[in-house]
Amino acid sequence: MTMEKGMSSGEGLSQISAVKVTAKDLETKQPQKDRRGGFVLVHAGAGYHSESKAKEYKHVCKRACQKAIEKLQAGALATDAVTAALVELEDSPFTNAGMGSNLNLLGEIECDASIMDGKSLNFGAVGALSGIKNPVSVANRLLCEGQKGKLSAGRIPPCFLVGEGAYRWAVDHGIPSCPPNIMTTSRVDSERETERKVFLFAVGSPSNGCRGRRIALIRRQEQGFSLAAFKRNKRKLELAERVETDFIQLKKRRQSSEKENDSGTLDTVGAVVVDHEGNVAAAVSSGGLALKHPGRVGQAALYGCGCWAENTGAHNPYSTAVSTSGCGEHLVRTILARECSHALQAEDAHQALLETMQNKFISSPFLASEDGVLGGVIVLRSCRCSAEADSSQNKQTLLVEFLWSHTTESMCVGYMSAQDGKAKTHISRLPPGAVAGQSVAIEGGVCRLESPVN
Amino acid sequence: MTMEKGMSSGEGLSQISAVKVTAKDLETKQPQKDRRGGFVLVHAGAGYHSESKAKEYKHVCKRACQKAIEKLQAGALATDAVTAALVELEDSPFTNAGMGSNLNLLGEIECDASIMDGKSLNFGAVGALSGIKNPVSVANRLLCEGQKGKLSAGRIPPCFLVGEGAYRWAVDHGIPSCPPNIMTTSRVDSERETERKVFLFAVGSPSNGCRGRRIALIRRQEQGFSLAAFKRNKRKLELAERVETDFIQLKKRRQSSEKENDSGTLDTVGAVVVDHEGNVAAAVSSGGLALKHPGRVGQAALYGCGCWAENTGAHNPYSTAVSTSGCGEHLVRTILARECSHALQAEDAHQALLETMQNKFISSPFLASEDGVLGGVIVLRSCRCSAEADSSQNKQTLLVEFLWSHTTESMCVGYMSAQDGKAKTHISRLPPGAVAGQSVAIEGGVCRLESPVN
């Protein structure tokens, strides 16, 4: 990929260095007979992915892509394919979603997840949900039930359930519960070489609120069990609270953590899918920040913030799907998923996404008081294009453009088309010298899918 | 007010009758010395308000306006003034918010509320909150705490809390709890002439999903205690479930309820405020639909959906504030509060709001499968205008345009400026023959506020 580093020219953006990556055109193989097409792009979070764990993050992204493609090839709905990818991502102990999620201040797991169907424009979401292994399955079931129309006595079916009520609804709809001790202390899949779970959370610089300062971060130790991690995190939080009363000690601590070259991981997971008919779907799932307040709901549960999917229509030349990751409060206040989806109707997807990340995210007036703006998105857009000269007349070509962009130090992605033998994975990083929270990385590609004309 | 009935001209809107009401210019008196200015507009829900209870709804709107104006005159923040209005609306047993809210399927009260500050653009929200008399107070406290910056160890303060976690946070921050039996069975304020609480919920027409059919509604009996109402509602729900297995019986039932000329009340409450400096704030609070699923969260808790407030800025010639009411799922899927706020930057506020209600709400592709689209909004926008010839040179004039618009049968509003002796109240209704869910009513006015130059 050709990389080009430049300065943005927009008003108020003079301090933002933009990294422009020219997309590589990924020509895919011809489709196999009797197998349906489609494309999936997944992420294992925008945050920080160390080189030492890159292999594990890539592996789970690869498996998630394969699960979605298997569904698409079997003719499943885009929403079912995106759910299959998310289930795989949630089941990994390396991601902060589903099993092994970050624990809140009370040592409990509370998950957020949502899904959107670009065809029906329906949405399902759960927030602060405990005791269910795959929160995305509950979100997808809410979406499906919502599509069946009104409940008895004309009651409107819910699209967003939280807490104990969400748990009861899930169990009532046949989704098995999972004891909290299994979710919090699960051992890593025996195929994996280590039994580790990383717990990190962002530590801001001291109280003055000016922008442009580097975010200092404390790295939490790796260990095998999330409950032990929680206890260690709590002790470190108590220490931090004592330390922060003494600015000199705090400064020393920050310098020390900067030397370790660590950063915060905000490893929400998500996926976007387009099926062989051009229908899109998007989903997102998160365990939220470590030591969050119980009951806190982040962007992964919120309409317009965590994911967005919208098929082509009268006013939309493109079908679009978006999934976000990062600091929930930043993604909520900018309604970033929907913002990206709207921007992607412009002619140049790459430029539109870059401008959105700069103007509507980093420079958003809604985040003017933040030290740094941390997030990432994966997006795809697709449209039917005229058959190429060498194509047979009973084939349609679906042009899929896919991109990822982040302001965090790194973002782990994977992608695969039904015509590929295996998924490609990548850990995208800000270039050396770029400052997390103030710079944008953007990369992507193009995929052409051929499918029989219906 | 001059009323004019016409047909809209937009694509796909041929079945929508629009009611255009030319705003009456409300010239207010000169400000009293040593008292600060400001304006408040409140609503007691978009739904159905019977003539017999009009007096009660108007009375609570009047009191809410007075509370907000008292705060503004004392120099309070716009957010504190809007909170004061909401507390009054929540405390009324006639509204579906706070005390005496609708009960869910388990016979519990679970409330949603949110608030937004146009100056800081901060937001606070609670969802599915039980055991707190004034949910808006918790939302406002979350907003205030969020403005203080990061928590210990750099944790980002939450802006949205739900369920038990929200309750714990509120109590930990000194907000008193309120036993559920008091909230569910509270007697009406002794000043009121009756002890009644109306429990209504919408009943759609049978399963086929075509648009344009009239929504049939079952009116629930009035009674003094919400627990008794819940039991009656449950029995009626069970009856409805049996009845719906027999279409003929259902048809009879619908005809019967239509004869009663009743409609659904979706009586969320809300307010928008502008203070003497031109800062705006908006808030909303709701008990949700009767017999909703526990854990269901509606628009009143959701960013962009329940309320929006945004001061004038580089790209916004006007400060805008919006609060919505109606069917939560419809308001969520159209992100209606934010949509209205953006539209209000156009030159003609009345036309912009009408077009938004028609094109982005009733005709929204996100609600294409709905029988009728039920909601209402109150909006205000303000800008500084040049001093008039007869004004003294040390005065500034703030031009405030305010509007309400609804697709429901009625909407109850109240408004007051700091220069008025008392609030004005109004129950806006669709004209005879207009169909709820398919027609738009819109009315409003203009107010000029004078305040000393800072």
HEC letters along chain B: CCEEEEECCCCCCCCCEEEEECCEEECCCCCCCCCCCEEEEEEEEEECCCHHHHHHHHHHHHHHHHHHHHHHHCCCCHHHHHHHHHHHHHHCCCCCCCCCCCCCCCCCCCEEEEEEECCCCCEEEEEEECCCCCHHHHHHHHHHHHCCCCCHHHCCCCCEEEHHHHHHHHHHCCCCCCCHHHHHHCCCCCCCCCCCECCEEECCCCCCCCCCCCCCEEECCCECCHHHHHHHHHHHHHHHHHHCCCHHHHHHHHHHHHHCCCCCCCCCEEEEEEECCCCEEEEEEECCCCCCCCCECCHHHCCCCCEEEECCECCECCEEEEEEEECHHHHHHCCHHHHHHHHCCCCCHHHHHHHHHHHHHHCCHHHCCCCCCCEEEEEEEEEEECCCCCCCCCEEEEEEEEEEEECCCEEEEEEEECCCCCCEEEEEECCCCCCCCCCEEEEEEEEEEEEECC
Which run of H or of E encompasses A229?
helix A226-243
Cβ-nearest to A158 among B161, B241, B296 = B296
* Winning range, highest mean pLDDT, from A160-169, A191-200, B224-233: A160-169
What is the predicted pLDDT for the residue at A241? Answer: 62
Cross-chain Cβ contact A295/B240 below 8 Å: no
Q: Which residue has the higher pLDDT, B197 or B133?
A: B133
What is the predicted pLDDT for the residue at A393? Answer: 58
* Pairwise CA distance, residues B379 & B387, whole Å: 24
Q: Hey, is A411 helix, strand or coil?
A: strand
Cross-chain Cβ contact B302/A297 below 8 Å: no
Which run of H or of E encompasses A350?
helix A349-355
User: Does the structure show a pLDDT above 50 at A208?
Assistant: no
Strand order in the sheet with A160-162: A160-162, A123-129, A111-117, A280-286, A269-275, A38-47, A410-417, A424-429
Band of residue A399 on the pLDDT scale cut at 50, 70, 90:
very high
User: Does the structure show a pLDDT above 70 at A49?
Assistant: yes
User: Residues of B with CB below 8 A from A128's CB?
Assistant: 162-163, 165
* Pairwise CA distance, residues B451 & B386, whole Å: 12
* Pairwise CA distance, residues A207 & A225, whole Å: 33
pLDDT 10s digits, A319-332: 999 999 999 999 99
Average pLDDT rounded to a whole number, residues B364-377: 93
pLDDT 10s digits, A171-195: 999 999 998 777 774 433 333 322 2
Residues 277-306 of A with CB under 8 A from B: 289, 291-298, 302-305
A385 to chain B, any CB pair closer than 8 A? The answer is no
Q: How many CB atoms lie within 10 A of CB A122?
A: 22
What is the predicted pLDDT for the residue at B97? Answer: 94
pLDDT 10s digits, A251-294: 333 333 333 333 344 678 999 999 999 999 999 999 998 889 99
pLDDT > 70 fraction of chain A, expressed in percent and rounded: 72
Residues 391-410 of A with CB under 8 A from B: none
Among chain B residues, the shortest Cα distance to A206 is held by: B154
Cross-chain Cβ contact A156/B369 below 8 Å: no
pTM, entire model: 0.83
What is the predicted pLDDT for the residue at A300? Answer: 97
User: Does the structure show a pLDDT above 50 at B420?
Assistant: yes
Q: Is the dihedral of CA A138, A144, A148, A154 positive or negative?
A: positive
Average pLDDT rounded to a whole number, residues B229-250: 59
* Angle, CA B225 vertex, CA B220 and CA B226 arms, to 5°: 60
Q: Which residue among the candidates A95, A268, A320, A334 is catalytic per the annotation?
A: A268
**Nearest C-alpha neighbor of B371 from the set B398, B344, B423, B407:** B407
ipTM: 0.82
- C-alpha B419: how far from its chain's center? 24
Cross-chain Cβ contact B294/A240 below 8 Å: no
* Pairwise CA distance, residues B97 & B410, whole Å: 18
* Pairwise CA distance, residues B31 & A85, whole Å: 63
Average pLDDT rounded to a whole number, residues A368-378: 92
What is the predicted pLDDT for the residue at B90? Answer: 96
Cross-chain Cβ contact B161/A338 below 8 Å: no
* Count of CB pairs separated by less than 8 Å, A with B: 196
pLDDT 10s digits, A211-222: 222 222 222 223
What is the predicted pLDDT for the residue at A205? Answer: 31
Nearest-Cα distance to chain B for A346, in Å, is: 20
Nearest-Cα distance to chain B for A422, in Å, is: 36
Buried b (16+ CB within 10 A) or exposed e, B413-422: bbbbbbbbee
Q: Which residue has the higher pLDDT, A233 or A30?
A: A233
Q: Is A191 exposed, middle or buried (0-12, 13-18, 19+ CB in 10 A)?
A: exposed
Cβ-nearest to B165 among A160, A296, A338 = A296
What is the predicted pLDDT for the residue at A152? Answer: 79
DSSP β-bridge partners for residue A114 = A125, A284
User: Does the structure show a pLDDT above 70 at A388?
Assistant: no
* Pairwise CA distance, residues B79 & B257, whole Å: 41
Q: Is the dihedral of CA A172, A176, A181, A183 positive or negative?
A: negative
Cross-chain Cβ contact A165/B335 below 8 Å: no
Cross-chain Cβ contact B169/A292 below 8 Å: no
| Single-letter amino acid, residue B102 | N
User: Residues of B with CB below 8 A from A158's CB?
Assistant: 292-293, 295-296, 329
Average pLDDT rounded to a whole number, residues B360-365: 96
Q: Which residues contact B247 (CB under 8 A, 6 or more apart)?
A: B206
Helix B135-146 and helix B163-172, axial crossing angle in degrees, nearest 10: 70
Q: Is A383 exposed, middle or buried (0-12, 13-18, 19+ CB in 10 A)?
A: middle
Band of residue A453 on the pLDDT scale cut at 50, 70, 90:
low
Cross-chain Cβ contact A332/B305 below 8 Å: no
Average pLDDT rounded to a whole number, residues B220-241: 58
* Pairwise CA distance, residues B253 & B320, whole Å: 44
Q: Which residue has the higher pLDDT, B387 or B225?
A: B387
Could you tell me if B287 and B111 are in contact, meaning their C-beta atoms sit under 8 angstroms apart? Answer: yes
User: Does the structure show a pLDDT above 70 at A113?
Assistant: yes
| Residue B259 token pair | 């004869």
Terminal Cα-to-Cα distance of chain A (whole angstroms): 36
Residues 117-136 of A with CB under 8 A from B: 120-121, 123, 127-128
Cβ-nearest to B121 among A154, A329, A366 = A366
Cross-chain Cβ contact B121/A365 below 8 Å: yes
* Pairwise CA distance, residues A196 & A233, whole Å: 15
Which run of H or of E encompasses A324?
strand A319-326
- Least confident range of A286-300, A344-358, A393-407, B409-423: A393-407
Cross-chain Cβ contact B149/A303 below 8 Å: no
A254 to chain B, any CB pair closer than 8 A? The answer is no
Q: Hey, is A106 helix, strand or coil?
A: coil
- Least confident range of A100-104, B281-285, B357-361, B423-427: A100-104
Cross-chain Cβ contact B153/A240 below 8 Å: yes
Band of residue A364 on the pLDDT scale cut at 50, 70, 90:
very high
Helix B226-243 and helix B247-259, axial crossing angle in degrees, nearest 10: 140
pLDDT 10s digits, A309-357: 999 998 899 999 999 999 999 999 999 999 999 999 999 999 999 999 9
User: Residues of B with CB below 8 A from A167's CB?
Assistant: 295
User: Residues of A with CB below 8 A from B168's CB?
Assistant: 294-295
Q: Which residues of B are catalytic?
A: 268
Cross-chain Cβ contact B365/A120 below 8 Å: no
User: Residues of A with CB below 8 A from B162's CB?
Assistant: 127-128, 162-163, 295, 297
A332 to chain B, any CB pair closer than 8 A? The answer is yes
* Winning range, highest mean pLDDT, from A134-143, A171-180, B232-241: A134-143
Cβ-nearest to B169 among A164, A295, A335 = A295
Cα distances (angstroms) measured from residue A2 to each of A6, A20, A355, B448: 13, 9, 19, 58
Cross-chain Cβ contact A303/B160 below 8 Å: no
- A-interface mutation test, from B132, B147, B150, most A Cβ less than 10 A away: B150
Q: Which residue has the higher pLDDT, A403 or A5?
A: A403
CA atoms within 13 A on the CB side of A315: 11
B210 to chain A, any CB pair closer than 8 A? The answer is no
A149 to chain B, any CB pair closer than 8 A? The answer is yes
Terminal Cα-to-Cα distance of chain B (whole angstroms): 36
Nearest-Cα distance to chain A for B394, in Å, is: 31
* Pairwise CA distance, residues B285 & B40, whole Å: 16
User: Residues of A with CB below 8 A from B172's CB?
Assistant: none
Q: Is A389 exposed, middle or buried (0-12, 13-18, 19+ CB in 10 A)?
A: exposed
* Pairwise CA distance, residues A161 & A322, whole Å: 22
Could you tell me if A212 and A15 are in contact, meaning their C-beta atoms sit under 8 angstroms apart? Answer: yes
User: Residues of A with CB below 8 A from B308's CB?
Assistant: none
**Nearest C-alpha neighbor of A135 from the set A174, A166, A168, A179:** A166
User: Does the structure show a pLDDT above 70 at A454?
Assistant: no
Band of residue B123 on the pLDDT scale cut at 50, 70, 90:
very high
Band of residue A226 on the pLDDT scale cut at 50, 70, 90:
low
- Give me the residue label for tokens 């499918």: A451
Average pLDDT rounded to a whole number, residues B23-41: 63
What is the predicted pLDDT for the residue at A402? Answer: 98
B236 to chain A, any CB pair closer than 8 A? The answer is yes
Nearest-Cα distance to chain B for A227, in Å, is: 20
What is the predicted pLDDT for the residue at B150? Answer: 84
- Least confident range of A215-224, B28-37, B97-106, B376-385: A215-224
Among chain A residues, the shortest Cα distance to B142 is held by: A296
Cross-chain Cβ contact B156/A110 below 8 Å: no
User: Residues of A with CB below 8 A from B335's CB?
Assistant: 303-304, 335, 338
- Least confident range of A65-74, A398-407, B28-37: B28-37
Cβ-nearest to B293 among A150, A165, A327 = A165
Could you tell me if A109 and A312 are in contact, meaning their C-beta atoms sit under 8 angstroms apart? Answer: no
User: Does the structure show a pLDDT above 70 at A4?
Assistant: no
CA atoms within 13 A on the CB side of B432: 0
Q: Which residue has the higher pLDDT, B5 or B371?
A: B371
User: Does the structure show a pLDDT above 60 at A17?
Assistant: no
What is the predicted pLDDT for the residue at B36? Answer: 83
B155 to chain A, any CB pair closer than 8 A? The answer is yes
User: Does the structure show a pLDDT above 80 at B215?
Assistant: no
A138 to chain B, any CB pair closer than 8 A? The answer is no
Could you tell me if A380 and A272 are in contact, meaning their C-beta atoms sit under 8 angstroms apart? Answer: yes
* Pairwise CA distance, residues B289 & B296, whole Å: 9
Cross-chain Cβ contact A165/B237 below 8 Å: no
Q: Hey, is A71 helix, strand or coil?
A: helix
User: Does the structure show a pLDDT above 50 at B377?
Assistant: yes
Cross-chain Cβ contact A127/B123 below 8 Å: no
* Pairwise CA distance, residues B10 & A216, whole Å: 53
Cross-chain Cβ contact A332/B303 below 8 Å: yes
